[in-house]
Amino acid sequence: MSAQEIRGAEITFDEFVTATAGRLLRTAVFLVYDRHLAEDLLQTAYERVARRWKRVSGGNPEAYARRVLVNLAIDENKRRARRRDTPVGSVADVERLAGAPPAAGAAGGDLDELLRALPAKQRAVVVLRYWCDLEEKEIAETLGISRGTVKSHTARAMAALREHMKEGRA
């Protein structure tokens, strides 16, 4: 079931979880770069959605779940920065488990390292824009920031990624 089919449809929470688990798990992995942590964050996000299911089920529950997930990931990234833990796992793990082909033209580790080097909010904007294919307005709503901030985070993140790519080629 696609995100558009879920929006406004009368589905049960179980059907919602079944329809969105793959997409939201991949999003979580790109946000935190640890498959096991991503699964934990997704579980927590689903718990929060379940508590508010009657209120959010008539609107866009996937957008609500994504917002909860992104906020959890940003909070976790802040905790990690204070603890300085080294994340384990990679995006390739999720791609392999989900059966999706790896990103074309990118060596698994290179993309991981490039995105991991970005600050949490810039990474969230890039993942939501280019992985989840959300528009600026949807990203702003998800992160609770203005569209201008989304644009500036995107521009800074893309500039950092380009610079890192140039350094890697030299």
Global pTM reads 0.62
Take residue 12 and report the two structure tokens written for it.
Answer: 């049960």
Find out whether 132 and 81 touch, Cβ atoms under 8 Å: no
Distance CA 77, CA 73 (A): 6
Cα within 13 Å of Cα(54), Cβ side:
0
Contact at 8 Å (CB) between 53 and 13?
A: yes
Reported as a single tens digit per residue, the pLDDT across 123-144 is: 889 988 888 888 899 888 888 8
CATH 1.10.10.10 maps onto the chain at 108-169
pLDDT digits (tens, 9 = 90+) for 11-44: 899 999 999 999 999 999 988 888 999 999 999 9
Q: What pLDDT digit, counting tens, does each position of 47-93 carry? A: 999 999 999 988 889 999 999 999 999 888 777 666 654 455 555 55
Indicate the length of the chain as a whole number. 170
Span 108-169: which CATH code? Answer: 1.10.10.10
